[in-house]
């Protein structure tokens, strides 16, 4: 019988803490356990500390996970809570993604200071975004727009916007919803022409492979539709060797026992793209995502990827 609190690792941003708190609340409800049985342990990651450069220049997505994963491997943490879209497709040996919470809204949110929508921005306006996918999609629709790198916490980016450093920015609607800040949104982007990042809007839980005590605990809160959809999207990303240098979008939807996936790759300037659409059984989610990635990579050809690295 568990007598010591489970130690939940998380980053220290308000959004990360909200995600860890949601995970704890779901576990308390599922198992009838008191709050004191779950200790939230806050760690600072390299990605949190380096905010003046694009992620691709300083090591990519793993910058937000390494310190947490080190403590998972050492046994200091029982499991860690992450934004799924921050997770590399290749995890450290001995660790796995063991559960996903029910997915929030996967769409991107436009927050305009000088205009309420992307289409309404004046020629030559400036948008701040740290995402190469968002940058490429903006340039695809509005090549006249100036896009600058814009990193930092949600609150930091909104403050920079308010100060007039840019005319608009884009953030994940899921994060704003979890922070109860959706009132700042001036346009919700249509995923048909502004598709989300793979795994956007989903909270994942990482733990040690084979740790039955933790796996049995987490199984009760794992959401199977989210698991299948995000597994498909991450397989697509992995097949494309997706990193922070690659503008990649992908979204899977589950309906009964079927899954429908759409994926897109773009050049950073948004002027070239290749799309793919597949559907099949949910039990084949990994294969569907992998094959979609292989299809779009073959269609694009090696030259398409030449300038990404």
Q: How far apart are CA 8 and CA 105, in angstroms?
A: 24
Q: Are 61 and 130 in contact (CB under 8 A)?
A: no
For this structure, is 86 an active site residue?
Answer: yes
Catalytic residue among 86, 108, 167, 228: 86
Please state, as a whole number, how many other Cβ atoms lie within 10 Å of the Cβ of residue 301: 10
Q: Which residues contact 113 (CB under 8 A, 6 or more apart)?
A: 161, 162, 164, 166, 167, 168
CA proximity to 156, closest of 53, 42, 13, 47: 13
For the chain, the first-to-last Cα distance in angstroms comes to 50
Q: How far apart are CA 271 and CA 216, in angstroms?
A: 47
Q: Helices 14-31 and 154-162 sit at what angle, rounded to 10 degrees? A: 140
What is the set of active-site residues? Answer: 86
């Amino acid at each position: 019988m568990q007598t010591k609190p489970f130690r939940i690792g998380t980053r220290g941003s308000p959004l990360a803490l909200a995600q860890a708190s949601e995970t704890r609340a779901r576990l308390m409800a599922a198992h009838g356990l008191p709050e004191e049985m779950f200790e939230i342990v806050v760690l600072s990651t390299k990605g949190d500390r380096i905010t003046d450069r694009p992620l691709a220049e300083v090591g990519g997505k793993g910058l937000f996970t390494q310190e947490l994963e080190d403590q998972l491997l050492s046994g200091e943490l029982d499991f860690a809570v992450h934004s799924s879209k921050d997770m590399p497709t290749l995890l450290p040996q001995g660790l796995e993604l063991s559960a996903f919470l029910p997915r929030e809204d996967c769409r991107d949110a436009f927050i305009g200071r000088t205009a309420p929508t992307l289409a309404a921005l004046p020629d030559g306006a400036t948008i701040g975004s740290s995402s190469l996918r968002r940058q490429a999609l903006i340039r695809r629709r509005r090549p006249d727009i100036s896009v600058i790198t814009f990193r930092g916490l949600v609150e930091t980016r909104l403050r920079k916007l308010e100060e007039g450093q840019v005319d608009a920015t884009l953030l994940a609607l899921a994060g704003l919803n979890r922070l109860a800040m959706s009132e700042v949104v001036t346009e919700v982007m249509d995923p048909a022409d502004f598709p989300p990042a793979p795994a956007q809007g989903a909270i994942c839980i990482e733990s040690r492979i084979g740790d039955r005590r933790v796996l049995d605990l987490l199984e009760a809160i794992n959401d199977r539709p989210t698991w299948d959809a995000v597994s498909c999207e991450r397989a697509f990303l992995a097949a494309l060797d997706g990193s922070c240098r690659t503008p990649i979008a992908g979204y899977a939807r589950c309906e009964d026992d079927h899954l429908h996936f759409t994926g897109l790759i773009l050049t950073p300037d948004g002027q070239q793209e290749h799309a793919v659409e597949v559907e099949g059984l949910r039990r084949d989610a990994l294969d569907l995502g992998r094959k979609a990635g292989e299809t779009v990579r073959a269609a694009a050809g090696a030259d398409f990827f030449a300038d990404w690295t």
